[in-house]
Amino acid sequence: MQKFNEIVSNKEVPVIMVDQDGLIQDINDAFEAAYGWSRETLKGKMLTTIIPESLRNAHHLGFSRFLTTERASILEQSLDLNIVTREGIEKPARHLITASKENGKWAFAASIHDIS
Amino acid sequence: MGLKDFEQISALRSTLGKMEIALGAINDAIVWTNHKGLIEWCNKSFDRLVDAPHISILGKPLASMLPLREHGLQLPAGAHPILGILQEKRDVQGYYDFFQQKKSLFVEFDGKYVEFSSGEFSAVIVVRDMSEARELEQVRVQSIALQAAANAIVITDNRGKVIWLNNAFTRLTGYGSEEMLGNPIEILQSGEHDDSYYQNLWKTILSGKVWQGEIINRKKDGNTYVEMQTITPVLNSKGDITHFIAIKQDITEQKKAAQALEQAIEEAETANRAKSEFLANMSHEIRTPMNAIVGMTELVLDTALDEEQLDYIKTVKSSAFSLLNIINDILDFSKIEAGKLGLEKISFNLAGRLQNTLKMLSLRAHKKGVELVYHEHPGIPEALIGDPERINQIIINLVGNSLKFTEKGGIKVEIAVADKAGVMSSKPGQKVDPVTLTFSVEDTGIGIAPEKQAMIFEAFTQADSFTTRVFGGTGLGLAITKHLVELMGGKIWLKSREGSGSTFFFTIPFGVERAGAPKKIPVFMRKLEGSSVLVAEGNPRSSSVFEELFRHWRMEPILCEDIATALSLAKDAAAEGNPFDFFVLDAMLFDESSQAPLKEILSEPELKMPIIFILPPGARTRHFDACREAGISFCLAKPITPSDLMDAVLRVHGLESELPSKDEADHPALSQAAVPKKVLLAEDNPVNQKLAMRVLEKMGHRVTVVPNGREALETIMKAAYDVVLMDVQMPEMDGLTATAEIRRAEKETGRHVPIIAMTANAMQGDRERCLEVGMDDYLPKPIRFQDLADVLARYPTASKSDDG
């Protein structure tokens, strides 16, 4: 919870927020700057928009499993995964994903450092 | 998207999530790749299999996440089965080894080709760990093998409780699994071993070592059996013993067979020893009366007999000697068999010892029309150390054997140094050096077929039974000879060609007394160096002996084969003003045609030279006299020995004063002794008493006879005697005890009467025992008159005679 809030309020690194349905809620300025996406373009899009194609199936399955079991396997740890930029280029990035449940609904926030 | 859409997505997510969890619960690893072979998804079992975080697996090529090996070799990049599925669009199944950091697994790769309606395709693979299954299969097969093994196998826990056994165990012990499982292995104990045996066994296996040994165990039916058992402890990863594996082999029959064999050998040896002892005893028993027969016969021969009687008695004598020889052979053989034949180690002169033997053999050869030649090569040490009597015996046996099978031609006895390294290396303080001599006896007899040469040295064999009938003999001679040679550390062998003769060779190592190292040419012979010798000798063997001897003495021999040639050679030499110094002439060349040339040599003044005449073996005094009358200076009878020839050569040159003093000439057996002696004879056998008494009286001695040691002791206490002849085995008190008593009594008087042992028990060690108790000399029976006379002559006659 604490980590979640920390990430949400962090303005230094690129941050993205996603809701329980896997729809992007918001990104910060740093995210826009890093990956070329605009807030307007991404808001309400499926998270898979920024996930490379080869990981999309795995994302759906993993995301579904978390919601079904509520047992995290990839949260709150540093993960190096590619991210797709506005230009459609895959860039290596360091992810730290957190989750928070409010009013029976899960919300996710992730910081995504560009490490290319 | 509307709210409803989200609800449907949520529902699908729930299904997907459950599916994901369900697939994760499966033990088999499941992995799904896209058409490029990159991992789309895998279940938790796959994460565990490749031992990597789930997220790090995703998107990676399967070929690198799941490297496979086949037959111990890494599959090359293009051979991974995933490529088969995707490239050939088909299912692929196979077994591989999979290594990850922590373990090696044997896996089944079950890959399916999956095509979607969109036209996309991918691969779904189940990777199943088959390691355990394979191990189980191996264990199952090994278990069958153990079950089928011929050896009994039993496995116990670390306290000896049985947990497994095979069929052979049941066959061996009679106990099945139902009786043994869970029970202590000690059920098998027979009580034949004491506790320490098992304690030792347990100590060994509890220390983690393998124990192997024989154990007598008891079967279910109560019978015992012997097994060879190997117990191997089984250790777990921590090094603790968890089990023992015992492998047993029934060796009861082997043990029985070995025991039976041992017993059979022992029985055979006992029987053989008994036989040999029986033979030795029998021979001994026979020798005693034979001794009397020979002795009495000699006494009869010494009385007045007419021609006919003389002939009969001579036949009796020679038959008795033949019989005695056979018995001596048997006795020797039995002693060898019984391991009782010992050897002497005394210093002797070989040529001197062989001289008489060779003379006797020459005589026998000559009678048969065969010539015996003796050839002693230079370099044989003057004083050897060994057993001269046994060497004589070997020569007699071999020459006797050759004589038996040789009808014409000759026999040559040769002796040479085989190895004189020891002689050369004599150092001060080192008393005895070894020298090995090679003896050979060559004949021109019937020869021995190759296939029979090997068995000729075996006892009771002649080349065939026919020869025994024709040539006679015990068939023991060569067997004894071989034993004697080997007993002395030598070797014997033969070369033979059927029809053209045989040569027997043997080697004997001797000690050499340093003082008498190799025979040197005596100083006086130096005076004769360069002398020229004319040798007329018809026998090429003899003539080569002459040549070698003369050359050895640095003379110059000229050889020819008849007297006519000799004459012309002598004439030539005289004409050149360089006449021969002397002439050696073989009497065998002496015939009608040779008379004229011989006369010329003898009579012509410028040809006249000393002649050494070589007579055939067995020449009598009258022959010698006849020669002298004929003007021939010196005569020698064959076989020629180096010392005989040297004597003659020195005499021819008037140098006899240079001769070393020789033993006095052989005296006739029953001649009167120079000084009569007072002799006490202790002998229990009446026949021997009578014989010895007669012989001694004929020698001129005065004899008192007593029948045992006790009376001998009493008698010697009362009166003084010059010599005591003491039988060893006598009733009441034996000769050894009597001697010891006499010597003890003499400690007070300070006297010392010579005591000479007489015993038919001619075994090695007898002499030592006799000398140990204080006897002075020893005469083995049968006693030869000459030996008796010699021994008596050695002891002085007491100056004071006080017989009553």
pLDDT in tens, B517-561: 444 556 666 677 788 899 998 888 788 888 888 888 888 899 998
B13 touches chain A (CB under 8 A): yes
CA distance A80 to chain B (A): 8
From the list B29, B40, B34, the residue with the least C-alpha distance to B66 is B29
Q: Enumerate the residues of chain B whose CB falls inside 8 A of the CB of residue A57.
A: 32, 40-41
B481, B352 Cβ separation under 8 angstroms: no
Nearest to A64 among B17, B38, B58 (CB): B17
Residue with tokens 């896997």: A22
pLDDT score of B575: 86
Contact check, Cβ <8 Å, A67/B17: yes
Amino acid code (one letter) for B450: P
> What whole-number percentage of chain B has pLDDT above 70?
87
pLDDT of B180 over the 90 cut: yes
CA distance B240 to chain A (A): 41
Q: Enumerate the residues of chain B whose CB falls inside 8 A of the CB of residue A55.
A: 58-59
Amino acid code (one letter) for B69: R
User: How far apart are alpha carbons B150 and B387 in whole angstroms?
Assistant: 61
Distances B215 to B33, B161, B167, B170, B248 between C-alpha atoms, Å: 65, 18, 20, 17, 9
Mean pLDDT over each residue of chain A, to the nearest integer? 90
pLDDT score of B639: 75
Band (pLDDT 50/70/90 cuts) for residue A32 is: very high
Instruction: Please state the three-class secondary structure of B214-264 as a single string.
Output: EEEEECCCCCEEEEEEEEEEEECCCCCEEEEEEEEEECHHHHHHHHHHHHH
Amino acid code (one letter) for B249: Q
Number of A to B CB contacts under 8 A, please give it: 62
Contact check, Cβ <8 Å, A54/B40: yes
pLDDT score of B432: 53
CA distance B93 to chain A (A): 25
Band (pLDDT 50/70/90 cuts) for residue B3 is: low
Mean pLDDT over each residue of chain B, to the nearest integer? 82
Region B97-109 average pLDDT: 86
Q: For A45, which residue in chain B has the nearest alpha carbon?
A: B1
Look up the pTM and report it.
Answer: 0.44
CB atoms < 10 A from the CB of B222, how many? 8
Contact check, Cβ <8 Å, B20/A79: no
Contact check, Cβ <8 Å, A67/B21: no
Q: Enumerate the residues of chain B whose CB falls inside 8 A of the CB of residue A60.
A: 13, 16
CA distance A93 to chain B (A): 14
Band (pLDDT 50/70/90 cuts) for residue B798 is: low
From the list B319, B395, B327, the residue with the least C-alpha distance to B356 is B395
Band (pLDDT 50/70/90 cuts) for residue B226 is: very high
CA distance A43 to chain B (A): 13
Band (pLDDT 50/70/90 cuts) for residue A109 is: very high
pLDDT of B744 over the 70 cut: yes
CA end-to-end span of chain B, whole Å?
168
Q: Enumerate the residues of chain A whose CB falls inside 8 A of the CB of residue B15.
A: 64
Region B684-707 average pLDDT: 85
Region A83-93 average pLDDT: 93
pLDDT score of B674: 61
pLDDT score of B112: 96
Q: Please provide the size of chain A in residues.
A: 116
Nearest to B16 among A54, A64, A74 (CB): A64
DSSP lists the bridge partners of residue B27 as none
pLDDT score of B478: 85
Region B690-699 average pLDDT: 83
pLDDT of B243 over the 90 cut: yes
Region B357-376 average pLDDT: 83
Considering only residues A74 and A110, tell me which one the structure prediction assigns the higher pLDDT. A110
Region B64-86 average pLDDT: 89
B636, B612 Cβ separation under 8 angstroms: yes
pLDDT of A90 over the 90 cut: yes
Q: Enumerate the residues of chain B whose CB falls inside 8 A of the CB of residue A81.
A: 55
Region B666-674 average pLDDT: 48
**pLDDT tens digits, one per residue of B133-164:** 888 888 889 889 988 998 999 999 999 999 99
pLDDT score of B308: 83
B38 touches chain A (CB under 8 A): yes
pLDDT of B229 over the 90 cut: yes
Considering only residues B764 and B552, tell me which one the structure prediction assigns the higher pLDDT. B552
Q: Going edge to edge, which strands form the sheet with B777-780?
A: B702-706, B678-682, B723-727, B755-759, B777-780
pLDDT of B62 over the 50 cut: yes
- The per-type count for chain B, helices as H runs and strands as E runs, is 28, 29
Q: For A57, which residue in chain B has the nearest alpha carbon?
A: B40
Contact check, Cβ <8 Å, A52/B59: yes
The torsion angles phi and psi of B775, rounded to 5 degrees, stand at -75, 155
CA distance A63 to chain B (A): 8
CA end-to-end span of chain A, whole Å?
29
User: How far apart are alpha carbons B78 and B92 in whole angstroms?
Assistant: 15
Q: How many CA atoms lie within 13 A of B107 on its CB side?
A: 27
pLDDT score of B364: 80
Contact check, Cβ <8 Å, B21/A60: no
Residues of chain A in Cβ contact (below 8 Å) with chain B: 20-22, 52, 54-55, 57-58, 60-69, 73-74, 79, 81-82
Nearest to A54 among B16, B17, B34 (CB): B34
**pLDDT tens digits, one per residue of B302-321:** 788 888 888 888 888 878 87
Region B22-48 average pLDDT: 92
A98, A16 Cβ separation under 8 angstroms: no
pLDDT of B640 over the 70 cut: yes
User: What is the DSSP track for B614-636?
Assistant: EEPTT--HHHHHHHHHTT--EEE
CA distance A21 to chain B (A): 7
Q: For B7, which residue in chain A has the nearest alpha carbon?
A: A21
Band (pLDDT 50/70/90 cuts) for residue B460 is: low
DSSP lists the bridge partners of residue B779 as B758
Nearest to B10 among A21, A58, A65 (CB): A21
B111, B81 Cβ separation under 8 angstroms: yes
Q: For B60, which residue in chain A has the nearest alpha carbon?
A: A54
Region B174-200 average pLDDT: 92
B21 touches chain A (CB under 8 A): yes
Cα angle B499-B500-B504, degrees, rounded to a multiple of 5: 110
pLDDT score of B700: 84
pLDDT score of B633: 65
> What whole-number percentage of chain B has pLDDT above 90?
28
Contact check, Cβ <8 Å, B16/A55: no
CA distance B15 to chain A (A): 8
E strand residue ranges, B420-500:
432-443, 491-497
Q: Enumerate the residues of chain B whose CB falls inside 8 A of the CB of residue A19.
A: none
